[in-house]
Chain A
Amino acid sequence: MLNFLAKLFRQETLDIILPATWQTLYMVLVATPITIFFGLLFGISLYITDKNGLYPIPIFNKTFGAVINAVLALPSMIVIILALPISKFIVGVSYGPKACIIALTIVCTPIFSRLVESSILEVSKGKIEAAKSMGASTCDIIFKVMLPEALPTLIRNFIVLTITLISITAIAGTFGAGGLGEVAVRFGYHRFKIDILLVAVLVLLVLVESLQFLGDRLSKRILKKRHLI
């Protein structure tokens, strides 16, 4: 067994895997905060502009919802291809890590927006109404009630987002940003180097599992502190 592992993680493999791991982490680390920012912004907008929301603008809500659904409905690959010219416009290139980060953000923001929306929809109407009855402004309701109340669910969804981002780097990676997914495709699929494929998948698995573990822990800790479980 040890022998097998030593063979699997031999130097040539590591020389390929380590930079790829770094590339994946780089893309995820940069894309995550951007996606979270826009996801929160869009998710909250969707929630409050609903016709029964805190600040109803039904026309905006319908149109914006439709745009988000449209991006969601397209296969990620297509969205990335469509996003590359946008990347060119924003960062000046349509190839490489920067362009891929923008493409990733565009793919994942709609997903996270809907996750944020559904997280805050879970906050009971009664709590929002209590805040309203005390004369809280929409802003107070968002930042002092909705987000703190939804925090445990938001953290879980935040992990779902990060994991989704990792998996989509595999597609985006083929446009010059590299990363573990790209390595898996290049060596495992095109060159039948099963060992490299295996190591790439193992590293991805460890990344995803540890994120999930951390997220679960954090979310549970908050629920415990609030005595909700």
Chain B
Amino acid sequence: MAVPFIEIKNVFKIFTSHKQEFEVLKGINLDIEKGDIFGIVGFSGAGKSTLIRCINGLETISSGSIRVGKYQINKLAKKDVNIYRQKIGMVFQHFNLFDSRTVYGNVSFPLEIATKKKEEIHNRVLKILDLVGIVNKKDFYPGQLSGGQKQRVGIARALANHPSILLSDEATSALDPVTSMSVLDLLKDINKKLGLTIILITHSLDVVKYTCKNMAVLENGIIAEKGSVKKIFENPQSTTAKVFIKHNAHLSNPYLSGEEVC
């Protein structure tokens, strides 16, 4: 088998606060293929955000190794960290848009810091705003947008500088089901059109079922289960997955019924 695009090997993350040590990730092993939409689910505090933040170096891992494409994250020189991050997009639950910039300015930000030429920035921003379907709002400030529109800007901003991966930490949790669906559709669309690898953290199995190809279940800093979404939904092994799926049965989302697992 070819080497996977993202290779996470025996990753440990220990936080120290008030002289106390908290082991949040306890030996994570994951391989993620190029072009996958990979879901990570787990209860609150399982370590999902921490794991995804280790992938783009917002947290440094305590031991183990993470490789993304040709980059060995844990061995990256300080000056290369920013160059590496410029190629990884991240989308946040609370959008984290810059209120001081218009929609256009938010999306041009990653291109500005990558010191692209003005004209190139202009063309790229318009193209990406068009892709996420929000080009008519380009001169609006974030304060004038709905949650769904904000997240489209968040996604556009993450995509602007041609990233090879998109990390999404609960990108749809603050949105209503319909808006959430449309944002997920957008992610699927981008995945197909650009061949972008997406890692998607969520609390909602509906989201995973609707969007992802493969998934992992995180339980207290350990991967309890991983594999294709289909396999895990049909035959869940871990407690977390079982509980999630059981709860899911009566929380089923009307918009998702009849949807095929991808």
Q: Is B112 an interface residue (CB 8 A)?
A: yes
Give the total number of A-B pairs whose CB atoms are below 8 A apart. Answer: 76
Is B211 interfacial (CB 8 A cutoff)?
no
Q: Which residues of A contact B157 (CB under 8 A)?
A: 130, 134
CB atoms of B92 and A135 under 8 A apart: no
Does the CB pair A129–B58 fall under 8 Å?
yes
Contacts of A131 in B (CB 8 A): 109, 113
Which of A126, A140, A228 meets B96, CB within 8 Å?
Answer: A126
- Is the beta-carbon distance between B113 and A227 smaller than 8 angstroms? no
Q: Which residues of B sit under 8 angstroms from A144, Cβ to Cβ?
A: 109, 112-113
Q: CB within 8 A of A134: which of B97, B113, B142, B144? A: B113
- Given A130-B90, A228-B143, A135 and B83 touching (CB < 8 A)? yes
Find out whether the CB atom of A226 lies under 8 angstroms from the CB atom of B113: no
Among B98-106, B194-202, B224-232, the stretch in contact with A: B98-106
Chain B residues with CB under 8 Å of A225's CB are 141
Q: B143 touching A226 by the CB < 8 A rule? A: yes
Residues 95-127 of B at the A interface (beta carbon under 8 Å): 96-101, 109-110, 112-114
Q: Which residues of A contact B96 (CB under 8 A)?
A: 124, 126-127, 129-130
The 8 Å CB contact of A136, one of B82, B97, B100, is B82
- Verify if A63 is at the interface (C-beta below 8 Å from B): no
A140–B94 CB distance below 8 A:
no
Residue in chain A with minimal CB distance to B100 = A148
Contacts of A227 in B (CB 8 A): 141-144
Besides A127-B97, A140-B113, 4 more A-B contacts (Cβ < 8 Å) are A127-B96, A133-B88, A133-B167, A134-B157
- B9 interfacial by beta-carbon distance below 8 Å: no
Query: Which residues between 200 and 229 of chain A lie within 8 Å of chain B, taking CB atoms?
Result: 225-228
B85 touches A135 (CB 8 A): yes
- Which of A124, A126, A127, A133 makes the CB contact (< 8 A) with B56? A133
Query: Any chain A CB within 8 A of the CB of B43?
Result: no
Number of interface residues of A (CB under 8 A): 22
Q: In the complex, A178 Cα to B141 Cα: how many Å?
A: 48
Q: A148-B100, A227-B144 are in contact. Are A135 and B110 (CB under 8 A)?
A: yes
The reply on B161 being an interface residue by CB < 8 A is yes
Lowest 4 CB-CB distances: which A-B pairs, in order?
A227-B143, A135-B85, A135-B86, A148-B100
Given A127-B98, A149-B100, are A137 and B143 neighbors across the interface (CB < 8 Å)?
no
B233 within 8 A of A: no
B-side contacts of A54, CB under 8 Å: none
Q: Say yes or no: A135-B99 contact (C-beta < 8 A), given A226-B143, A227-B141.
A: no
Cross-chain contact of A126 among B94, B100, B109 (Cβ < 8 A): B94
Q: Are B92 and A134 in contact (CB under 8 A)?
A: no
Tell me how far the C-beta of B105 lies from the nearest C-beta in chain A, rounded to whole angstroms.
9
